[in-house]
Amino acid sequence: MKINNLNTILAIVLFTSVLMISGFNNPQIEYFPAPLASPQLSLYANLTASGLYDAGESALNASQEIVSHVENLCVARGADKTTSHHIRTAAENLLNDRLLNGQIKVHELFFYFADQQNFAIILRGEFARQRLAGVLGAGKVVDASDKSVARFRSPLNPSELIFMQVGSDEIVICPDNISGNVTEKLSARQNILGSEFAAFAKMIRVRPAVAAEINLAALQSAAAKELVPDWFKALRHTRLIVSSQMAKMQLFMPDADERARLLQQVEGLVGGLREHAGNLVDFSAAASGNSIFIEAPAGDELERLVSSRSIAFLMHFFVRAQKNQLMVSSRDADANRE
């Protein structure tokens, strides 16, 4: 993926990532799927908070908002504005043909990432398994009594296989070489997430629009150094939650000089966060202790807004214009998939 504006991408990633909540200290954590012990990034998205699956006008408004934001994201990533109507049509097709017709209704997304060989995506919701198997291609799918399994080449490394398991209420995607361990943990409902992500586990309890925790020190060490701005390199850890009760992000940076420098950069990014949220949210940033905190007034509307933006962000990877060729994951492209 070509990064055209790294600062904007970082702002969006941070906005779609995590914070420590001192208020949620009940040790009785409800089970949630976490098949990796030591990820560098843990992300949760509650897509039902968008209103997309509600009845009547609420669902219509949510779908229109999502389609518009998909178009904006594709244009921001370099799509020719003359193709905007094609992008909107593709986004509408994807919503209508996949999400709203009962084929794939994603309620929750869990994403854990350690490196390109160790990651897992778990989608929970309602899935028409046989119809999805037909989309993937009969020759690529192995059917069991309650699940369908497919393997395909990694788009990042064609020499590696990606494993995909589809059930009626859960889809699992991970590298093929760890699929046995991942599916075993999920089948046993065994959560093995390490204690360093305890804050993330607590945040999941309230099923927020978004919760995430990122070990940035480890993640940056694995990334190409030229892709990481100097002002960002001293950042060690970040946590964020956006729910109807709280909207707050913590950026942990123990070095005082670097923290002051980062605060200046973050204050500049707040405008980008506000734009990402549709200019409907008043963000503020301030230093406290060894961290910088970015906050916004919480509420049901912010939770709905962030959830719909999360759906659009995920969808735009499937509906994007690149080199004047529109690549669409929708019903019209089933027979001509790239």
* Model pLDDT, residue 225: 56
Residue 323: its pLDDT value, please? 35
The total number of residues written for the chain in this structure: 338
User: Residue 297: phi, psi to the nearest 5?
Assistant: -60, 125
Question: Which of 155, 205, 147, 195 minimizes the C-alpha distance to 175?
Answer: 155
Tokens 């709203």 -> residue = 100
Q: What is the pLDDT of residue 106?
A: 92
pLDDT of residue 234: 80
Listed in order, strand segments (DSSP E) in the chain are: 41-46, 104-115, 118-127, 141-143, 148-153, 161-166, 170-175, 210-214, 237-242, 247-252, 284-288, 291-295, 319-322, 325-328
Quote the tokens at residue 337. Answer: 């998939």
Question: Nearest-CA neighbor of 20 among 249, 324, 231, 178?
Answer: 249
CA 56 from centroid of its chain's CA atoms: 26
Give me the helix-helix angle, 300-315 and 57-76, nearest 10°. Answer: 50
The reported pLDDT for the residue numbered 222 is 63
* Residue 251, number of CB atoms within 10 A of its CB: 26
Pairing of strands 237-242, 247-252: antiparallel
Q: Can you give the pLDDT at residue 139? A: 74
Sheet bearing 118-127, strands edge to edge: 141-143, 148-153, 161-166, 170-175, 118-127, 104-115, 41-46, 210-214, 237-242, 247-252, 291-295, 284-288
Per-residue pLDDT tens listing for the chain (338 residues)? 444 444 544 544 444 443 333 333 444 557 899 999 999 999 999 999 999 999 888 888 999 999 988 888 877 777 676 677 788 888 888 888 877 777 889 999 999 999 888 999 999 999 988 888 777 776 778 888 889 899 988 887 888 999 999 999 999 999 999 999 999 999 999 999 998 899 999 999 999 999 999 998 887 776 555 556 676 778 889 999 999 999 999 999 999 998 998 888 888 777 766 666 666 677 888 999 999 999 988 899 889 988 998 998 888 877 764 333 443 433 444 444 44
* CB atoms near residue 246 (< 10 Å): 19
Residue-level pLDDT at 119: 95
The reported pLDDT for the residue numbered 320 is: 61
Q: How far apart (Å, rounded) are the C-alpha atoms in residues 35 and 214?
A: 17
Sorted by sequence, the CB contacts under 8 Å of residue 13 that are 6+ apart come out as none
Per the structure block, which two tokens stand in for 137? Answer: 């291609």
Whole-structure pTM value: 0.81
Residue 223, pLDDT score: 59
> What is the rounded CA–CA span in Å between residue 32 and residue 119?
16
The secondary structure of 25-60 as a DSSP string is --S-PPP-----SS-SEEEEEEGGGGSTTSSTHHHH
The predicted structure's pLDDT at residue 17 = 43
Domain ranges for the chain:
6-24+31-331
Q: Name the one residue in this structure whose structure tokens are 């607590």.
A: 202
What is the 8-class DSSP label of residue 321? E
